[in-house]
Structure 1
Amino acid sequence: MRIVITGASRGIGAELAARYRARGDEVIGTSTTGGNGLIPLDLAQAEPDFAPLAAAVGDGALDLLLCNAGIYPDKGHAIESGFAPADWSRAMAVNVAGPFLTVQALLPALRRTTGARVAVIASAMGSQERAPGGSYIYRSSKAAAVNLARNLARDLAGEGIAVGAYHPGWVQTDMGGTGADIDVATSVTGLMARFDALSVASTGCFETYDGVPVPY
């Protein structure tokens, strides 16, 4: 397979890239600044530059796009003093507009593959049915990311392109912290199984890394 992974410099993205390469797949990864074999792509910019990524993909087909890049700028913020406007803008740019613009930029390559797939790494924290409060920016952006994935699924199903949203679990990464529930390897093993199973028959799904449906 030919795969693009955004946010591939560390954590879940880096492990996904390593696993897919070990499996024999071709992986094109991005990071904010590039380097170390990664393509530069800063989704926080007002107008992200997709030209280097598009050039790396070229005229070939793309089997799987993993929209993994994401930020959590309001972790630990208090309602009285946190959640600055700049944090809202940056999170919506990276976590919501980022996946859409990446799909838009790579849609020609996805259309060259029969059964292409797009996976948006969302979060159960974006579930509107589960709303325990706090983390307003992150929760809102991930809820929007799920909505985006489901609408893309509807619009692209007729072309045979499947789109799913996935909760990777509470993972021991820089974002999740050392006290998180699972390690990166466990999350990635489950996510890869979910991506392999994604098809037009299941498009629009919102699932955990271990296959449990997440309420919207």
Structure 2
Amino acid sequence: MHIVITGANRGIGKALADCYRDQGYNVIGTARDKSGQVRLDVADPAHHADMAVQLQGQPVDLLICNAGVYLDKGQGIDGYPSEMWAESFATNVTGVFLTIQALLPNLRAARGKIAIISSQMASHTRAPGGSYIYRASKAAALNLGRNLAADLKSDGIAVGIYHPGWVQTDMGGAAADIHVDHAVQGLTERFYALSLANTGCFETYDGQLHAY
């Protein structure tokens, strides 16, 4: 099985890449710097074009869109500069779409799967205030995934959107609920279960359906 994971140089992305490699799968991890097997700033269209050339002709069984940023953590209501909105959406939303678009021929060749790492903060049922940019961008990624699921079903490509849990990573912080290994175990089970029968799902790492 050939797997591509964006943002695979740290946190959940790195842990997923290590897990799949340990199982003997062919994994390509991307990163914005040269630490990835493929250099990919998901906000840069030129990087996507380069990646498409590098992976041309290689079927992709599973694409995990993991790369993301949480730039507005701790911002007050008088904060949230426009540049922060633009950078966050370029990575968390546009970056997801450009990645899928670039690798669509590879996914079609394998009738592969797409897993989008979103967050429970995307759900309209969780609105305690704050983190406006991150919440809005993850909600947009959720909407993107749901619509891609409808459009790509005829190609045999299933799309799932996932909340990985509140994970002890640089983004989640040391006070988070679960260790990254726990999240990875759950996520890999969810990806395995993803099919055309449940395409468009929004699930937690432990298999619970999440309200949209």
Band the TM-score falls in, shorter-chain normalisation? over 0.9
* 1:84 Cα deviation from its structure 2 partner: 0.8
For 1:67-115, what per-residue CA distance to the aligned partner results, in whole angstroms no more than 9, with x for missing partners?
00000000011002x111011001100000011110000000001013x
* Counterpart for residue 198 of structure 1: 194
Identity between Structure 1 and Structure 2 (%): 58
Which of 127, 143, 148 matches 1:147? 143
1:31 has 2:27 as partner: no
The 3 A distance-change label for structure 1 pair 48 and 212 is farther
1:70 has 2:64 as partner: no
| 8 Å CA contact 2:5, 2:13 repeated in 1 | yes
For 1:134-172, what per-residue CA distance to the aligned partner results, in whole angstroms no more than 9, with x for missing partners?
100000000000000000000001111000100000000
- The unaligned stretches of length 5 or more in structure 2 are none
Could you say what secondary structure the match of 1:140 adopts?
helix
| 8 Å CA contact 2:42, 2:99 repeated in 1 | no
* Counterpart for residue 210 of structure 1: 206
Within 5 Å, give how 1:6-155 maps onto structure 2. Answer: 6-35=6-35, 37-45=36-44, 47-80=45-78, 82-114=79-111, 116-155=112-151
Structure 1 length normalisation: TM-score?
A: 0.95
Could you say what secondary structure the match of 1:65 adopts?
strand
* Counterpart for residue 171 of structure 1: 167
Distance in 2 between residues matched to 1:64 and 1:55, nearest whole Å? 18
Distance in 2 between residues matched to 1:130 and 1:181, nearest whole Å? 17
Distance in 1 between residues matched to 2:5 and 2:109, nearest whole Å? 18
Distance in 2 between residues matched to 1:54 and 1:104, nearest whole Å? 9
| 8 Å CA contact 1:124, 1:167 repeated in 2 | yes
* Residue-pair matches, total: 212
| 8 Å CA contact 1:39, 1:52 repeated in 2 | no
Structure 1 segments of 4+ aligned residues over 3 angstroms from their partners: none
